[in-house]
Amino acid sequence: MYNLAIVKSRAIKPSETFVMQHATHLANVRIFAESFPVRVHTPPFDSAAILAPPTQSFLTRAINTPLGAYIADPFVHRARTATYMKIFREHRINVILAEFGPSGVNVLSAANTLGIPVICNFHGYDAFDRRALKLYSAQYKKLFHSAVGLIAVSQEMQKQLVALGAPQEKVVVWNYGVDTEFFHPAPSPPSRSPFTFLSVGRLVEKKGTIYSLQAFADFHKKQPNSVYNIVGSGPREHVLRQYVRNQNLQDSVHFLGALSHIQVREVLRQSHVLLHHAVEGRYGDREGTPLVIQEAMACGVPVIGTRHAGIVHEIDDGVSGYLIHEKDVQAMTSCMEKLYADEIHWQAVSRAARAKILSQFSSSAQMQILDTIISSLCKAVA
């Protein structure tokens, strides 16, 4: 049996529910270490306490940004490594799951010194964003060499890691899963008046929310009895709000801000369609496999997504949702109209969406698979 430490060297974001899922659902997790200065959590894990922003000085906040972490690394490396070694010894850790590539880089020195195998789970930006790749290119080579396993959350990401120099035999593809008992359809479908669209995620470029807004604006011209709720916050919010004002959509587009896991479930169950127009960012940043798509489908909410990263494996086009090409606003509007116009079709897609999640993406099955991956990688180096 292994004693697992989950490590994330920056503070966890509310949108990173997949990290919390690992901490709460994987077997044999002894500690969850996050942020810098390092905060250590032990089971039973308190999600509210972990997600609560740590009290940090301006300097510490700067260090916890990608660029700040890179610049400050020579100064904080020794302190971080000493802390990791201390807590790994105290809790008798014998395997580490690093969440995101930079976390794998930051924990590697302590792990190598203590002879603890590291498995690094890549999630998105850490494998694709050219800014991150430039910052961590040298360190990634060391990580690829020393880690016993590298987890990619899509086949596209697997190819990318190999292209970056990771040994192909070390890269394993594994998909997120969703708690289908927590995320389930409402007892009855929401009223179709108004017809409600939803997006959930950080308001950053790669989420493509501006294209969903443009599609909604076109749809709303024909169907004014419709609303679009946007959950999340981020640096693109001011651009999105300005677009809403320019289109005079203030009464139909609502910015709900960041919501709790329970609140997200409730707004999903009150919605008819999830819009997830993921695009490649200007620096190459891409999604992994968006968990919110699985959460929506588990609630019986049809999803219109882009042919982007792992999304193509989540949605069966025309059956359990719709797939469009990136930045094709007209195609998104057309799919929105199809789901609005035919209630029987909407119900069929709703049922197919939930069935797809139950058969392929339940968290219980996916956590068992991840547990098996960790166990087999540990045995291979024992």
320/314 Cα distance (integer angstroms): 9
The confidence score (pLDDT) of residue 68 equals: 67
151/175 Cα distance (integer angstroms): 9
Q: Which residues of 66-101 are buried (b: 16+ CB within 10 A; e: fewer)?
A: bebbbebbeebeeebbebbbebbeebebbbbbbbbb
Q: Which fold has domain 4-177+363-381?
A: Rossmann fold (3.40.50)
Amino acid at 77: H
Query: For 153-174, what is each residue's pLDDT tens digit?
Result: 999 999 999 999 999 999 999 9
Average pLDDT over residues 271-275: 98
Hey, which residues does 178 pair with through a beta bridge? 362
Could you give the dihedral angle defined by the CA atoms of residues 74, 79, 83 and 86, in that order, rounded to the nearest 10 degrees? 100
Query: For 215-264, what is each residue's pLDDT tens digit?
Result: 999 999 999 999 999 999 999 999 999 999 999 999 999 999 999 889 99
pLDDT category at 36 given cuts 50, 70, 90 is: confident
In this predicted structure, the answer to whether residue 65 has a pLDDT above a threshold of 90 is: no
CATH code for the structural domain at 195-360: 3.40.50.2000
Q: Is the backbone peptide bond immediately before 37 cis, with ω within 30 degrees of 0?
A: yes
Average pLDDT over residues 9-38: 90
pLDDT category at 1 given cuts 50, 70, 90 is: confident
- The alpha-helical segments, DSSP class H, found in the chain are 17-25, 47-51, 58-63, 66-90, 101-114, 125-128, 130-146, 155-163, 209-222, 237-246, 261-269, 291-298, 311-314, 329-341, 343-360, 363-381
Determine how many CB atoms are found less than 10 A away from the CB of residue 146.
15
In this predicted structure, the answer to whether residue 134 has a pLDDT above a threshold of 70 is: yes
Hey, which residues does 275 pair with through a beta bridge? 304
Averaged pLDDT score across all residues of the chain: 93
The confidence score (pLDDT) of residue 331 equals: 98
The confidence score (pLDDT) of residue 305 equals: 98
In this predicted structure, the answer to whether residue 343 has a pLDDT above a threshold of 90 is: yes
The confidence score (pLDDT) of residue 49 equals: 82
Domain boundaries, the chain: 4-177+363-381, 195-360
Hey, which residues does 294 pair with through a beta bridge? none
Say if residues 233 and 257 touch (Cβ distance below 8 Å). yes
The confidence score (pLDDT) of residue 66 equals: 63
Token digits of residue 220 = 């709303």
pLDDT category at 367 given cuts 50, 70, 90 is: very high
Q: Do 4-177+363-381 and 195-360 come out as alike in CATH topology?
A: yes
The confidence score (pLDDT) of residue 142 equals: 97
Query: For 137-154, what is each residue's pLDDT tens digit?
Result: 999 999 999 999 999 999
347/355 Cα distance (integer angstroms): 12
222 exposed, middle or buried (CB, 10 Å; 0-12, 13-18, 19+)?
Answer: exposed
Average pLDDT over residues 50-58: 72
The confidence score (pLDDT) of residue 46 equals: 86
In this predicted structure, the answer to whether residue 74 has a pLDDT above a threshold of 70 is: no
In this predicted structure, the answer to whether residue 124 has a pLDDT above a threshold of 90 is: yes
In this predicted structure, the answer to whether residue 293 has a pLDDT above a threshold of 90 is: yes
